[in-house]
Amino acid sequence: MAAAEAKPESMAFSSPTPDTAQELPTSTATPTTKASKKLSLIPLIFLIYFEVAGGPFGEEPAVKAAGPLLAILGFLIFPFIWSIPEALITAELSTAFPGNGGFVIWADQAFGPFWGSLMGTLKFFSGVVNVAAFPVLCMDYLEQLFTVFSSGLPRRLALLGFTLTFSFLNYMGLVIVGYTAVVLGVISLFPFILMSFIAIPKIHPHRWVSLGQKGVKKDWNLYFNTLFWNLNFWDSVSTLAGEVEKPQKTFPLALFCAVIFTCVAYLIPLFAITGAVSVDQSEWESGFFANAAAIVSGKWLKVWIEIGAVLSSIGLFEAQLSSCVYQLVGMADLGLLPRFFAIRSKWFDTPWVGILLSTAITIGVSYMDFSNIVSSANFLYSLGMLLEFASYLWLRRKQPTLKRPYRVPMRLPGLIIMCLIPSGFLIVIMAIATKIVYLISGLVTVFGIGWYYLMKFCKKKKWFKFSHEVQQYEHEVQQYEQE
């Protein structure tokens, strides 16, 4: 995709191009002699699936926090409040701005480079923090098979080995990651399908309407964070738009299929096990489905689900690491990061600098407490999503004639309502955060503001090379302002 001549910032909204999709700068850091392989529909569906869910693993704490009924209602209703609006926005803006960087491009186009850079900081750190949760989740399942991984040096070495090994798989190419996601998705879901069928004769429907055991206090913090963590990150795939075949057609269809696929994958096992298994509510920890499989069928199915959990963790790690990496490529293409972040490997045509940085941060964060990992990722993501909703509405208002191959079929008042409802939920998630989460999120936000001005200073001093296209754009802005 060729870079287009960008409009000066003060003219960007008053003179939109009516009949062409927004063209964006692309990386020229490492020229290649042949076109890179692109993601097709099926691998993209499974990458989105792993961006968001990766299977029913991790939904169990919702039952522990609020009982079976509220857990079921949460996974039935929350997709309409959150998942579908987020997926619709992602489909519209990814087809209007089909370049790597996704939400960073949207904020940059709506409000300028400062907000694009801040969006990038918030979403990047929420992404790598979230990626760090999956080696931890993997170890939680593995320790049920091998107790040596429960603590100490063996667990630390296993976390390190997991992260390094599967970061290298990401280095081998996004198409490989996509087809790996297809295989991992099928294998990891099959034991849940089998468990649910075996559980059918044992289901007692009255258990579905239980609000939990008497005397057990509702843990709303855990409940909402579990729902949010299991059903968010739909927009993460937008950072891969430049790596997708015919994104204007492929993205909306892939997101539609992934939403249905993900919701069904959560609900079927939840209905089956809450109806078939009666245990103390406190046992519904992350990983309980493996124990439930042993109750329903036997140890052989428990082992299969634990293996599936490990495979799912790999898929989640790969998909979300890819989004973090290609977000950095998009930011480099926009001139928000030095040009070397867009450098690609000569062997695999992958952005190795971004992979290296994301992996290093992931390793450090993976030794944090798991609950703090999830809560910090949710808080940073919430800040980024509030900015994303604002960017979407602003672009609709200021660039109404911008070509959008997919367009959410609503006028601006309806879109405002669509965004206000999940925004209210975001505020609830942020309000119930702990002090350590506030501290981490505050430091990241301050860092993001400082980083923008540091990059601006580096650009002025010419300490690093930045995207040639964006330098040309800034030159045109200066000429326009002088005139």
Cα separation, 86 vs 80, whole angstroms: 10
Q: What is the CA radius of gyration of the chain?
A: 22
pLDDT score of 74: 94
DSSP state of 466: -
Q: What pLDDT does 150 receive?
A: 76
Q: What's the confidence (pLDDT) of residue 395? A: 95
Domain with 98 in it: 41-468
Q: What is the CATH number of the domain that holds 62?
A: 1.20.1740.10
CA gap 256, 268 in Å, rounded = 19
Alpha carbon distances (Å) from 445 to 199, 210, 357: 47, 41, 19
Residue 34 in any domain: the answer is no
Longest Cα–Cα distance of the chain, Å, equals 78
Q: Specify the pLDDT at position 476.
A: 47
Q: Tell me if 17 is assigned to some domain.
A: no
> DSSP of 223-278, one letter per residue?
HHHHHHHHH--GGGGGGGGGGBSSHHHHHHHHHHHHHHHHHHHHHHHHHHHHHH--
* Residue at 31 is within a domain: no
Per the document, the length of the chain is 483
Determine the Cα angle at 80 with ends 241 and 268, to 5°: 95
How high is the pLDDT of residue 33? 39
Q: Does residue 20 lie within any of the structural domains?
A: no
Model confidence pLDDT, tens digit, residues 382-400: 899 999 999 999 999 999 8
- 473 inside domain: no
Give 238's Cβ-side CA count (13 Å radius): 29
**Does residue 295 fall inside a structural domain?**
yes
What pLDDT does 35 receive? 55
Q: Which residues of the chain are under the pLDDT cut of 70? A: 1-36, 368-374, 468-483
| Residues 312, 188 contacting (CB under 8 angstroms) | yes
Is 163 within the bounds of a domain? yes
What string of DSSP letters covers 391-439? HHHHHHHH-TTS--SS--S--HHHHHHHHHHHHHHHHHHHHT--HHHHH
Establish if 282 belongs to a structural domain: yes
Count structural domains, the chain: 1
